[in-house]
A and B are shown apart, each in its own frame.
Chain A
Amino acid sequence: MQKDKTPEDDFFGKLSMEDSQGDSQTPAAPARLKSNVYSALVNHMEESGPLLPVEATEATDGLCVFEKLIDLAPVSEGMKTFNACSICHARVLAERFEHPPIYWKNCPYVDFKGG
């Protein structure tokens, strides 16, 4: 038994347990928050060096229309690692609105809307 246990500890222990079991009632994270977290995370990843080039990214998952353009265009290797989201209007909308009018295929910001 803990030496600092009080007569009321059981009561609060029970309350906190009941409350924690109610996690399922906590609202899901807003899509706007997911968008902000994703943007911040990718920016943070870039701080320590370039992202995986788009063609290597496509091998594991689909590219959005803008990333596809970068992949196909005759641009430098540096451009292939460019974070297209940083200049995309979809990001700007998604970070500010819960239901932004964006529908690009393979756009993460669109996927976040799905919950």
Chain B
Amino acid sequence: MTLQEATETTGTDPRDRTLVQALLNKNRKAAAEFVSLYTDSVYGYVYQRLIPRTDMVDDIVQEVFLAAWDNLRKFEGRSSLKTWLLGIARHKVESYYRTRLKALNSLDEDEEVLTDTAEEPRFEAAIDKTRAMLRTRSVLEGLPETYRLLLLWRYWEKRSLKEMAESIGRSEKAVERLLARARQQFRRSWEHAER
């Protein structure tokens, strides 16, 4: 079996393990296959979660592959290599969120606390998915960084308030207050973009 054949598919099959073994043997061609096969997926994941900080995407993608090499012996083939790599990417993205949120001054809790309205923003059934995605991205890009990161972390990475609060050394109440403000600002921008 050639390396090419061994890496054409992903999944919990022996081909992933063949590629991993070739990498562990320090086969430079396997390294090229590894990068060629999986950079697009890792890039897409990181790109989507760092908008609009595309300047950071390349660095994080590279970190993912270096971390993958450092931990490759731990890969047991329980998930596909792609899933495993995306797990590393997730850690890197969350580490970025954590670092940025800790550093941002706007995390002060003295601002007026806004209360969420029970009224759910309209998510038009008629709007096509592409337009919804573009509008979501555009609104997220326009938000202050703190709000954008909190929303991405909470809803795109599906982290609980408790997990987020512990990660950045804040109380759950404080994170919830910030999220409430983030949601409200998102909603305003979303409705504004609708006009």
Residues of A within 8 A of B (CB): 2, 4, 6-16, 18-23, 25-29, 33-34, 36-38, 40-42, 44-46, 49-52, 56-57, 60-62, 83, 85, 108, 111-112, 115
Contacts and interface: CB of A to CB of B under 8 A. Distances in A.
Contacts, number: 153
Interface of B: 2-4, 22-23, 25-36, 39-40, 42-45, 47-48, 58, 61-62, 65-66, 69-70, 116-121, 123, 129-130, 132-133, 136-137, 151, 154-156, 158, 160-162, 172, 176, 180, 183, 186-187
What are the 5 A-B residue pairs with the smallest beta carbon separation, nearest first? A108-B32, A29-B43, A61-B29, A26-B44, A22-B133
Given A4-B176, A18-B136, A29-B61, A41 B123 contact: no
A33 B38 CA distance: 12
A15 B61 CA distance: 25
Contacts of A22: 129-130, 133
Contact of B36 (A46, A62, A111): A111
A56 B21 CA distance: 14
A19 B156 contact: yes
Contacts of A21: 129
Contact of B123 (A15, A45, A52, A60): A15
Contacts of B162: 4
A18 B31 contact: no
Given A38-B32, A62-B29, A115-B40, 7 more contacts: A8-B121, A16-B156, A18-B133, A37-B65, A40-B62, A60-B30, A108-B29
B123 A20 contact: no
Q: What DSSP secondary structure best describes chain B's contact surface? A: helix
B137 A19 contact: yes
Contacts of B69: 41, 44-45
Contacts of B61: 29, 33, 37
A29 B31 contact: no
Nearest to A60: B3
Contact of A41 (B34, B120, B158, B186): B34
A69 to B, nearest CB: 15
Interface centre among B2, B26, B43, B121 (most CB of A within 10 A): B26
A46 B69 CA distance: 11
Contact of B28 (A37, A49, A51): A51
B137 to A, nearest CB: 7
